[in-house]
Amino acid sequence: MFSRLVSAGLLAAAFSLPIGSAMAQPSGLPVDVPREQLFVSDQILRYNVVGNYNFWVQGPQNPTRHAMFLETLWVRDQETGELINDVASSPPQYNDDYTQMSVDLRDDIYWSDGVQFTADDLVYTVQTLMDSPELGANGWHTQLNQFVESVEKTGDHSVTFTLSEPNARFHSMFEARWNGVYMMPKHVFETVEDLATFTNNPPVVLGSYIPVQADPNGFWELYQRREDWERSPAGVQTGNAGPENILSIFYGDSTRKAIAMSRGELDVYFDADFEAFQTTLDTTSTARSWYQEFPWAYPNEVSSRQFVFNMEGDPIYANKDVRWALALALDIVELQTEYIGGVVKVTPLPVPPTTELMRLYHDPLEEWLVNLEIDLGEGEMYKPYDPTVPDRIAEWAAGQGYEVPGTPREVFGTGWWKFDPEAAEALLLKNGFTRDGSGQWLKPDGQPWVLSLQSPPDENDAFRMSNAAADMWSDFGIQVDLQGPERAVWDQNHIEGQFQVSTPWYSFALASGDAWPEIRGWHPEFYVPVGEDYRSKGGGNFQRINDPRIGEMLDAMQAVEPGSEENFELVREYLKYWTEEMYFITTISFKKFVTWDERYWTGFPTAESPDYMPLYWFQGGKYAFQSLRPAE
Amino acid sequence: MTLFKEYIFPRLIQWVIVIFIGVSLTFLIPRMSPINPIDQAMGRLTAFQTLSPEATLALRQSLMDLYGLDGSLFSQYVNFWGRVLRGDLGPSFSAFPTTVTEMIGSAIWWTIGLLGLSTVIAWTLGLVLGALAGYFPDRWWSKVLENTLVSIYPIPYYIVAFILLMLFTYYLPIFPLVGGSRGAPGFSWSYLSSLVYYGFLPALSLVIGATAFRFIMSKALAGTERTSDYVRFAEIAALPKRKIVFRYVIRNTMLPQVTDLALSLAAIFEGALITEVVFGYPGLGYLLLNAINASDYNMIMGITLLSIVGIATASLLIDLCYPLIDPRVRYR
């Protein structure tokens, strides 16, 4: 009897322990902070370096963290295109020959320990980075040594850089799209003996938030707002207090993010696949993305998606007519609607049609696109551009019962290439391609055309785009071998040139409109043949394009001021050349289902109040956090 | 002395050889992979920002230096053995400058806690329930148990895990979605209870499948034992059935299962990848997956080394313990 009682007791204890512990938990969140004082953001990766806030050495990950507490001179907002003064109080000022750059600094911001930020901090940061090869993060040590001859304090809040050679773009190192040179607190760092092993924990910060607690396993991190938040750059910029606490938490896949938001344990996630986003709308009535209704997603992150070709793989892809034929065999309206859900902007240029970049590039080039002609053979010239694409997508949207929140061009981007298999066929026949008895294409050497397309499935839109292309090119008579390798394998294939057609993201222009820093790596001086690492000379030419015309155009851009109309005109000429050559088949721009729940917090940037970009994991995401207010 | 010379010593030599070969293969295999850690690190560093070509080249060289990948394969191999013997596994490439030892040290306790407990619970439950069901095959509860566990056993683990996740985090949201605990580590009730709270679902998912497996094995063994002469004599002697099951039947079915338990416990050092990914639980499996994807040679070697040494040592210990457990080995 006794042993039975003991067994029953043990059994009861075994069941009651987890249930009891579950009942004892205040919530499914890992921190004890009242929910109305806590904003919970999606941490885009699980940090594997924990408790180390020395972001000047290689290792500690910066997403979200740099928005919370790291500052640079300027931030370029990807939504507005505006240059926001971060710790600077003026734009960069160059002398006439671009050998000096001066900057004025804010005199109203302080480090979190109460020490005022001054020119000494900036000079110390630059000098320390130059002198310390062990501070190798982000390539700043190398680039500063390459560009800077000296840096001097010219006042308590003004600094002048003397450059080693004329350089009209030097300031871009301190202008954050993703990030810019992070300021160091001189009064802290100058006391450190070994900067390489210094963990900077707890950190003294210029930003509004201080990390106060972190999961040793890297799943989450808790930040507390500084009491003197109004003395931080984001506090000065927005004039708003923001949440008292912010928790960043890594939930992993889209499903778990949707579940977390439905449970009230996530206020914003950075992206999800289309299905998980729809589930969020169904299960969380207070959730929304950039647009309140269709097409929901944020469309203005500065990157575009494309099919790219290996010029030194199968020789057929080095033929521009073949690349054009593949473009004309794609139905962009079907791709954008049936495969992507109608939620991205279309672009034929390797520049996303954000408001600012559309003004600089797509609008001025529209007439050129409409009049562009290609040679189909036998003297037949053909105009491939179809400006009606956004209108046709709008018609599809209306058919689905959606209301389009703006003009079709504003919401769905620009025109694209006509879906014209007959024109595509003419281009291939012109180049010696033939069809076999079953209608499948044969290459000029008589072999069946098997197109190998590589696209890593972890990049949702790129993979869907590839599925669309695989279907359409198959219908056109090409055997398509669509492969979805792991990203690491895909990266390595790019590096060695082991691909025919692939789908990397890219943008030829920065949010400012300047292009040279983004495309300089395509200069023929950095060309490396297939079989060797394409970066072995430092360039970014994964397609192995060896085109002297590109070199000439890049040289011309380098010599002019990046914000000048002259530079923008040169970029337009470059885009025309690139498009005529069809080096990329650019299809759509980036979209993100940056989705937030207004149950506890409001004020996140939206299409109705687009004051800042909602991309909170970039360094410029600080303004989105700082703009938040408690829900009524 | 004969026991040592003929039984223990050869097994010790075998243990050393297995570890040497295993560790050498661990060194070579990642280096034969087409994925290169420098390229992966460069990819991570340049994914978000544009570097000048000059900076790209300099960064590449500095990574070669930092990661210790300069020099020939042989010199790397010699350095590697030197470090292994000093207990220095070097820095993790993907979490530089954190050392592999630190990272494994923080992950391993989660894996030991989760897999160790769930393995022991599942082993005990499966063994006892299986033996009872094998000895009393005609009872109603025996049939219910058998039908239930035999039905559960073929279901792929990830489906069981996903069902539990959806059931208890979404439809009945009482358990957390990710993580291993709440708040800062410490010996407080709130922290310790949070360990149970966070670990319950992943552990349950492991216990279900493992119990079913052990139950089937144990029931079959007990069914055979039940027809043995000693059981018949015990029944004729009117010994209580509980005593027959727990004193004799279970003990005789345990021998092969003890070996299996030891190997299962040693396999803990490989981690529980699917469990950790599905439940967002910290541990060695997740660490190993990330290391493979990032070509983090040092981390791959660290975890594999642990696994090789763990399993080889467990096998050695089982071999050494056999003479104690099984008299037939002792008197051979």
SS3 percent helix, strand, coil of chain A, rounded to 5, is 35, 20, 45
Of A172, A239, A173, nearest to A208 (Cα)? Answer: A239
pLDDT tens string A478-500: 999 999 998 878 888 888 899 99
Considering only the beta carbons, identify the residue of B57, B194, B294 that sits closest to A538: B57
Of A459, A474, A535, A470, nearest to A504 (Cα)? Answer: A459
pLDDT tens string A50-70: 889 999 988 888 999 999 999
Q: Per-residue pLDDT for B306 more than 90? A: no
Q: Are strands A175-176 and A74-76 parallel, antiparallel or unpaired?
A: parallel
Min CA distance, B53 vs chain A (Å)?
4
Chain B hits for A138, CB-CB cut-off 8 Å, are 45, 49, 51
Chain A hits for B183, CB-CB cut-off 8 Å, are 30-32, 213
Min CA distance, B20 vs chain A (Å)?
29
Of A506, A492, A490, nearest to A458 (Cα)? Answer: A490
> In whole angstroms, what is the distance from residue A327 CA to residue A321 CA?
10
pLDDT value of position A434: 97
SS3 percent helix, strand, coil of chain B, rounded to 5, is 80, 0, 20
> In whole angstroms, what is the distance from residue A260 CA to residue A40 CA?
10
pLDDT value of position B289: 86
- The answer to whether the CB of A17 falls within 8 A of the CB of B196 is yes
CA distances for B74 relative to B31, B70, B80, B295, angstroms: 12, 11, 10, 19
Average pLDDT, chain B: 84
Environment class of residue A429 by beta-carbon count within 10 Å: exposed (0-12), middle (13-18) or buried (19+)?
Answer: middle
Q: Residue A153's pLDDT band (boundaries 50, 70, 90)?
A: very high
Say if the Cβ atoms of A537 and B57 lie within 8 Å.
yes
The residue that leads in pLDDT, A6 or A42, is: A42
Considering only the beta carbons, identify the residue of B49, B98, B170 that sits closest to A179: B49
Structure token pair of residue A511:
């949010």
Q: Residue B242's pLDDT band (boundaries 50, 70, 90)?
A: confident
H or E stretch including A247? strand A245-249
Q: Return the domain boundaries, chain B.
A: 112-293
Given CB atoms, is A177 within the 8 Å cutoff of chain B? yes
Say if the Cβ atoms of A492 and B36 lie within 8 Å.
yes
Contact residues, A window 120-139, toward B, CB-based 8 Å cutoff: 133, 136-139
What residue has token string 């672009």? A347
What average pLDDT does this structure show over A378-402? 96
- The answer to whether the CB of A516 falls within 8 A of the CB of A557 is yes
Distance of alpha carbon B164 from its chain centroid, rounded?
21
Chain A hits for B34, CB-CB cut-off 8 Å, are 489, 492, 496
pLDDT value of position B332: 54
pLDDT tens string A457-476: 888 899 999 999 999 999 99
Selected from 1.10.3720.10, 3.40.50.2300, 3.90.1150.10, 3.30.465.10, the CATH number assigned to the domain covering B112-293 reads 1.10.3720.10
Q: Nearest-5° angle of CA A492, CA B68, CA A135?
A: 90
Of A126, A190, A108, A123, nearest to A158 (Cα)? Answer: A123
pLDDT tens string A406-441: 999 999 999 999 999 999 999 999 999 999 999 999
The residue that leads in pLDDT, B43 or B116, is: B116
Structure token pair of residue B273:
């990848």
Q: Residue A543's pLDDT band (boundaries 50, 70, 90)?
A: very high
Say if the Cβ atoms of B179 and A486 lie within 8 Å.
no
> In whole angstroms, what is the distance from residue A181 CA to residue A175 CA?
8
Q: Per-residue pLDDT for A308 more than 70? A: yes
Of A463, A285, A408, A25, nearest to B179 (Cα)? Answer: A25
Strand partners, A150: A162
Chain A hits for B61, CB-CB cut-off 8 Å, are none
Listing DSSP states for A318-355 in one string gives G-HHHHHHHHHT--HHHIIIIITTT-S-B-SSSS---H
pLDDT value of position A384: 98
ipTM confidence score: 0.79
Q: What percent of chain A has a predicted confidence (pLDDT) above 70?
A: 96
Of A441, A444, A462, nearest to A453 (Cα)? Answer: A462
Chain B hits for A486, CB-CB cut-off 8 Å, are 293
> In whole angstroms, what is the distance from residue A62 CA to residue A179 CA?
9
Listing DSSP states for A79-121 in one string gives TT--EEESSBSS--EE-TTSSEEEEEB-SS-B-TTSPBP-HHH
Chain A hits for B98, CB-CB cut-off 8 Å, are 48-49, 52, 59
pLDDT tens string A111-143: 999 999 999 999 999 999 999 988 888 888 888
- Chains A and B form CB pairs within 8 A to the count of 177
The identity of residue A9, as a single letter, is G
pLDDT value of position B78: 85
Given CB atoms, is A146 within the 8 Å cutoff of chain B? yes
The residue that leads in pLDDT, B262 or A360, is: A360
The pTM assigned to this predicted structure is: 0.86
Q: Domains (ranges, CATH) in chain A?
A: 79-187 (3.90.76.10), 304-589 (3.10.105.10)
> In whole angstroms, what is the distance from residue B317 CA to residue A387 CA?
76
pLDDT value of position A299: 93
Nearest CA in chain B to A198: B97
Average pLDDT, chain A: 93
Chain A hits for B54, CB-CB cut-off 8 Å, are 142-143, 146, 538
Say if the Cβ atoms of B183 and A213 lie within 8 Å.
yes
Distance of alpha carbon A585 from its chain centroid, rounded?
19
Tally of CA atoms within 13 A in the half-sphere of A244 that contains its CB? 8
> In whole angstroms, what is the distance from residue A409 CA to residue A415 CA?
8
What residue has token string 């040590």? A141
pLDDT tens string B205-217: 999 989 999 999 9
Say if the Cβ atoms of B200 and A21 lie within 8 Å.
yes
CA distances for A335 relative to A100, A300, A309, A405, A416, angstroms: 49, 19, 20, 21, 12
